[in-house]
Amino acid sequence: MFKRFFDLASLGFLFLVLVSCEDSSRSLTSTASAASPVISPSAAQSAPPAASPETFSASGPLIVENQLDVASQREGMIARLYVDTGRAVHHGDLLATIDDRQLHADRDAAEAKLQAIGADVKNWEAEVKVLQADLDRTEKMWDAQLITREQLDHARFKVEADKFELERERHNLQNQQAVLRSLDIEMQKTQITAPFDGVVARRYVRVGQKIAIGDRLFWVTAVAPLRVKFTLPERFAGHVRPGQLLSVSTTESASSSHLAKIIQVSPVVDPASGTIEVMAELSGKPLDLRPGMTAQVRLQDVPTGNAQ
């Protein structure tokens, strides 16, 4: 009897446990359903927001269009220096001279020979005129049957020969004039002049130094207009164009900015770096900027998203 009562009590307790577990499961399911938001299909398929324009910064060197090493066009010895490093120069200003005494002597000899050949040309011109007058008289004598045919031919051949001699001397005169012009050009090469307005950044030679053709003598650089060359990621292709304005400042003085205008944009993307090259020109003559400085460039209202 006692055993049967115990079995019934165990079955009742097990039934209560099962009912309690089912209620707990339903409570948790309803709570999770209330906490989970409902996502509509239209919201899930909505497009991402468009990229907003922002400011982009890049850096690059300040350069000028005219900047080069002035090299020697002939060999010789530096006879005199007229400028030194830091000197402002204008186009055509004399920087140095190469010893030209031998060239002076050669030119004087060439000029004297030119004058001699010129005198020969005048002599042959006079000779041809005399022979032409003789030929005219001979032809009249032939018409009067006073001379033989051979005498007439002799006078004609003499005139033709002298005309050829005159033509030869005229070509000699032209040749000597070309020689004189060549020596004048060589004389000009001994005068080292500034190729444009700017400043002498470096001097490589001294007085008395022996130089060869192609040796560097001076480094001359312009100071304006200043330009900055920098690169941008390829996503900027089509968004930056010539004429667009931007601000430029140095890395040392970021608070002082200058206005610049884009003058050149590379039409292709560099496949190695994935960038495009841009060049901008600064307005005016900024006193705090020098060629060779590293500048900070800021572009306004440039999309940062991928270009479609």
**In this predicted model, what pLDDT tens digit does every residue of 198-240 receive, in sequence order?**
999 999 999 999 999 999 999 999 988 899 999 999 988 888 8
Position 164 scores a pLDDT of: 95
The domain limits of the chain are 53-66+223-303, 70-91+195-221, 100-189
Helices (H) and strands (E) in the chain, counts: 4, 14
Position 288 scores a pLDDT of: 80
Position 87 scores a pLDDT of: 94
Contact 194, 92 (CB under 8 A): yes
pTM over 0.75: no
Residue found by looking up tokens 């003789």 in the block: 134
Q: Which residues of the chain have pLDDT under 50?
A: 1-3, 5, 17-19, 21, 23-52, 305-308
Position 19 scores a pLDDT of: 46
Q: Which two tokens stand for residue 38?
A: 């409902």
Give the pLDDT confidence of 275-287 residue by residue, as tens digits. Answer: 999 999 998 778 7
Position 249 scores a pLDDT of: 87
Q: Which CATH superfamily is domain 53-66+223-303 in?
A: Efflux pump adaptor protein, beta barrel domain (2.40.30.170)
Instruction: Determine the topology of domain 70-91+195-221 in CATH.
Output: OB fold (Dihydrolipoamide Acetyltransferase, E2P) (2.40.50)
- Rounded to whole angstroms, the Cα distance separating 113 from 107 reads 10
Position 270 scores a pLDDT of: 92
Compute the half-sphere exposure of residue 32: CA atoms within 13 Å on the CB side of its CA: 6
